[in-house]
Amino acid sequence: MSTPSSELTVAVIGCGRPLRTEGSTGFGMAHRHMAGYQQSGRCRLAAVADLSRENAEAFVKEHQPDAALFSDYREMMEQVRPDIVSVCLWPHLHAEVVCGAAPFKPRAIFCEKPMDIHWDGSLRMHETCREHGVILAINHQRRFNLPLAKAKALLDEGAIGALRRMEGAWHNLADSGTHALDMMFFFNRDEPAEWVLGQIDIRGSRKVFGALNAGHGISSFRFKNGVRAVYHFGPDSGDFGFLVRLSGESGEIEILPQSPWLRLRRTGSAAWETVDTGESIHDDKAIYRAIADLIQALDSGGRPLLDSENALRTTEIIFATHESSRRRARVDLPLPPGPCALLSMVESGELKLEN
């Protein structure tokens, strides 16, 4: 166990370019991770691994000029033996790289979401890290944004009575949708789900960071404590006007996709009360808090809030929704290990993507 003052070495796999800069292909999450490590005051970048030497050189120049550069992450893990590894790659590489890094026994791996493009790969990430005594955290960082934290506090204080139902809506199921689903588990104290009934439409499907997302669909599921949830996804998700709505015995709470971000309506009132949150649901401070929470878990010997055990519950809903659409039936959980049903249906020709 480290003491709170001890330095932690960090390695990054997949550097990328900062958001909206020349050569960027995404949100530049590795740079956002580094901002969190630097904010902690505890971490030093020891090494990076990236197939693009140009990206690797630019990354260390900005964050730690004397950090070592590698093209092979296994070679980096062997030589550097970092305390924490950030995996900031596209989803189809997550299971391969996390499972490849875990045997070198870093103390923690902080991986971008979603977990993987296959359910068996997601399970393997979790199980391999557990086998080697490595904490695996998945970056569902919005749990740490103030609008969610304040909504959770209102719920726990009884502002709307006992939670009965949740409804969510966002662009897709597996990319932005993984955040919306994770919010639902967060608000319901990470209670496991017991079944999923879903339907997807392949029209309008597109790849997000290389991972295929169905164009439109719905997922209905029930938690073991009786709370029900439904998630809508597709290009018209903005019609709902909220990202997540919590319905309790005596009112409703909504997380919104734009300012004011959080509002509350009590039973018997037609008016919504705006709740001041001080930041948006997209603020990078959430990543800094997630990393601080991960470091605290390393210090205490506990588990971080973004532990892969929690992330698996969200991920299971995604793959069970695909499987329910394939079976045209309800899927009882736990979902057996296997490949993604959406990708299997596309590969078999059962679903045909638009040209």
Write out pLDDT tens, residues 186-241. 999 999 999 999 999 999 999 999 999 999 999 999 999 999 999 999 999 999 99
Same domain as 289, residue 221: no
pLDDT (tens digit per residue) in 172-187: 999 999 999 999 999 9
Residues 231 and 136 occupy one common structural domain: no
Q: Which ranges of the chain does DSSP label H, i.e. alpha helix?
A: 29-40, 53-63, 73-80, 94-101, 119-131, 146-156, 176-187, 285-300, 308-327, 341-348
Range of the domain at 120: 8-141+285-306
Residues 193 and 252 in one domain: yes
Question: What is the helix, strand, coil percentage profile of the chain, to 5?
Answer: 35, 25, 40
Q: How many domains in the chain?
A: 2
**174 and 50: one domain?**
no
pLDDT of residue 1: 54
* Backbone angles phi and psi of 258, in degrees to 5: -150, 170
Would the pLDDT of 2 be above 60? no
152 and 192 share one domain? yes
* 277, 294: one domain: no
The Cα 284–Cα 146 span in angstroms is: 11
Rounded to two decimals, the pTM is 0.96
288-329 pLDDT, tens per residue? 999 999 999 999 999 999 999 999 999 999 999 999 999 999
Same domain, 195 and 275: yes
- The yes-or-no verdict on residue 277 having pLDDT over 70 is yes
